[in-house]
Structure 1
Amino acid sequence: MASMSPCTIEKDVLDAMKKFRRLSNKSTMAMLLRCDMKTNQVVIDKELKDMSVEELIDELPSREPRFILHSHELKHADGRVQYPLNLILYIPDGCGTNNRFTYASTANSVSEASGITRIIEFREDISPEWLTKELQKTY
């Protein structure tokens, strides 16, 4: 049985997260991270650029959790445009207790390593409307 302790984040993943932060002010993009239960490490699953919320949702597995570093274009009423960074903790229904515990206990480490303090968490099917609304609440 796999360990239920938090996963570690290796230097190559830390470096990729730092690079993501530097690039994130230019487009809507996401980095999907997963916990490798065999090695007990956070690894990069996918990197997506210039995608919509709908495309992001389509990339998520239906029964496996993910951490999502996300930068999106946010247009304000006064004409300003921002690309805020968010950390999304995606734990779908039916993923299993071990996965739930591992991801929940690793979330703070991913938040600290990425420098993103706001964690948006969802545990059920996500809609583009809900995610867009959650992303806009922050700013």
Structure 2
Amino acid sequence: MSSSLVVCEVDVSLQEKLKKFRFRKETSNAAILMKIDMEKQLVVLEEEYENISLDELREELPERQPRYIVYSYKLTHGDGRVSYPLCFIFSSPVGE
């Protein structure tokens, strides 16, 4: 018995954008919002955001469609060090 697993590719231009995002020099919170193009079976860029909080980002998400998000934010540690973690978030509305 064989089964078929369909895996989406990531759009080449999105791959480049993600590489640049990973090494960005800006110190503001930022996000890249991605979705799946079902016809092409491709993960594509939907929107880019600068100076956006998590609450503002939550408001930007569609109510009925899943999205992938890469989010970078300023984190001040207890000892005063500052870092900019990169988080991968999957958002899926209830029932989707």
The TM-score, its normalising length taken from structure 1, stands at: 0.62
Q: Which residue of 1 aligns with 2:76?
A: 75
CA distance in 2 between counterparts of 1:65 and 1:89 reads: 7
CA distance in 1 between counterparts of 2:25 and 2:91 reads: 20
Moved over 6 A (4+): none
CA contact (8 A) 1:24 1:83 kept: no
Q: Over aligned residue pairs, what C-alpha RMSD do you find?
A: 1.5
Give unmatched runs, 5+ long, in structure 1. 96-139
Q: Please state which structure has a larger fraction of its residues in helix.
A: 1
Q: Percent identity?
A: 39
Residue 26 of structure 1 and its aligned partner are, at CA, apart by 2.3
Residue 27 of structure 1 and its aligned partner are, at CA, apart by 1.9
> For residues 92-131 of structure 1, what are the structure 2 equivalents within 5 Å?
92-95=93-96
Residue 62 of structure 1 and its aligned partner are, at CA, apart by 1.1
The TM-score, its normalising length taken from structure 2, stands at: 0.87
Residue 24 of structure 1 and its aligned partner are, at CA, apart by 6.1
CA contact (8 A) 1:25 1:82 kept: no
Q: Which residue of 2 aligns with 1:66?
A: 67
Look up the SS of the partner of 1:39 in the other structure.
coil
Give unmatched runs, 5+ long, in structure 2. none
Number of residues paired by the alignment? 92
Q: Residues 11, 22 of structure 1: CA spacing in aligned structure 2 closer, same or farther, 3 A cutoff? A: same
**Bigger Rg over Cα:** 2
Letter matched to residue 50 of structure 2: K
